[in-house]
Structure 1
Amino acid sequence: MEPSKQPPGRPRDARVDDAIRDAVRELVTEVGYAALTMDAVAARAHVGKAAIYRRHASRGELVFSALVHGRQPKPLPDTGTLLGDLAGFAGVVLAVFSDPVVLAATPGLLADLKQQPEIAARFQEAFIAGERVQVVALLERAVARGELGTLPDAATVHAAVLGTVFAWVFLLAQPPTPQLAPRIASMVAAGIAEWAHDDR
């Protein structure tokens, strides 16, 4: 599914886009995803509900748009070691999930994505695919440095980091600590070594 399109006619007003986006981010943190309504967003943004529906067909699409705005994955710095690169990546994932808006919206949004495959596909493209590129890059650097003999499965490494962070933040409801990213990196690096041993 392509991003929402404006019908032919007057150009879309960026001020309305910003007002809607700000209203969504404020309301999600105040009332939660489940209680978020188009009426409440329209009232907070001081726009008509029709203006929202011209841009977003559903609550899931509306919240998704607010979450992904401005979130473009950037190449991670080369720290010189696999452990350092993994810790840097884990830190980025922790920072995303620690955003109050993401924290409040993610559980409900993920549930809605099961019923909205078009938005789920965009979620994969915006979040998962971008992060996977970062994982592939850090693993390729480790191979080039001689830290790894072969390139591990990037999807497995990505899932190990992402799943641990998700469990910590959403299932255990624990706040991130400065030691968490390095610890996750150590566990994943140990797992990579074990996977390499098993593949021999």
Structure 2
Amino acid sequence: MTTTAKPGPGRTQDADLTDRILRAAEQSLRANGFSGLRMEQVAAEVGCGKTAIYRRWATREELVAAVIMLFADPAEEPDTGSLVEDLVIHQGQSMINQSYQDNQGEDRPLWGVLVEPKVREILYAGVLSERRDRGRTIIARGVSRGDVPPETDADALLDMIAGFAFYRTNVRNERLTPEMFRQVASTVVSAPPLRITT
């Protein structure tokens, strides 16, 4: 599912205006969160009409998803030969380019919008499901090397690392580092969650 609307017949989109709308929406999200994002304020900030925004994104949720996509790292799937290091790199790619940057003061982390059901649905149809599939592949390689047992619950393992990242950035407002992920990944890999069979 794409988050960018296609131009109507006979109408071309101005790439510069699209970029300025996305950047203004990003700043609003960082300052005010999802509930504080107002299309009319974004339009005023950019100097366009609300219709210019709605031609590109039919809903506020689609606009927010498009902002998040700006920061989704399309980097190659890591394959270092170490399950722990691959998980550290994978989680770093998933952090939407925010936690490895210098402290942004009182800015809200962009991850917070994932609690919005419609935004999450749009993102899961694209980048989030792709990221999860990559994570499962990383763990499958770890299983084949004997790093974790075959009955490892890949989704639970990935959730433990992602949950740590989400809580630390959104609840505790901490800046995360690769070393933090390395400690968590090492702990989880040493005693991975196993699939529950009934």
Q: Where on the TM-score scale, by shorter chain, does this alignment land: which range?
A: 0.7 to 0.9
TM-score (norm 2): 0.80
DSSP 3-state at the match of 2:137: helix
Deviation at 1:63, TM superposition (A): 1.5
Give the AA of the match of 1:12.
Q
Q: Does 1:71 align with 2:72?
A: yes
Moved more, 1-10 or 122-131: 1-10
Hey, what's the Cα distance between the residues in 2 that align with 1:188 and 1:97?
24
- Tell me if structure 1 keeps the 8 A contact 2:161–2:184: yes
Q: Does 1:86 align with 2:126?
A: no
RMSD: 2.7
User: Which stretches in structure 1 are left out of the alignment for 5+ residues?
Assistant: none
Residues 46 and 54 (structure 1), Cα distance of their counterparts in 2 relative to 1, 3 Å cut: same
Deviation at 1:171, TM superposition (A): 1.8
Residues 189 and 131 (structure 1), Cα distance of their counterparts in 2 relative to 1, 3 Å cut: same
- Tell me if structure 2 keeps the 8 A contact 1:86–1:138: yes
Higher normalized helix content (fraction of residues): 1
Hey, what's the Cα distance between the residues in 2 that align with 1:6 and 1:155?
38
Tell me the alpha carbon deviations over residues 76-99 of structure 1, each in whole angstroms, 9 at most, x when there is no partner.
Answer: 332222222222223333464526
Identity of aligned residues (%): 28
Residues 187 and 149 (structure 1), Cα distance of their counterparts in 2 relative to 1, 3 Å cut: closer
- Tell me if structure 2 keeps the 8 A contact 1:90–1:185: no
Residues 17 and 187 (structure 1), Cα distance of their counterparts in 2 relative to 1, 3 Å cut: same
Q: Does 1:186 align with 2:190?
A: no
Q: Does 1:131 align with 2:131?
A: yes
- Tell me if structure 2 keeps the 8 A contact 1:33–1:104: no
- Tell me if structure 2 keeps the 8 A contact 1:139–1:151: no
Deviation at 1:64, TM superposition (A): 1.3
User: Which stretches in structure 2 are left out of the alignment for 5+ residues?
Assistant: none
Residues 167 and 104 (structure 1), Cα distance of their counterparts in 2 relative to 1, 3 Å cut: closer
Q: Tell me which residue corresponds to 2:194.
A: 195
Deviation at 1:129, TM superposition (A): 0.9
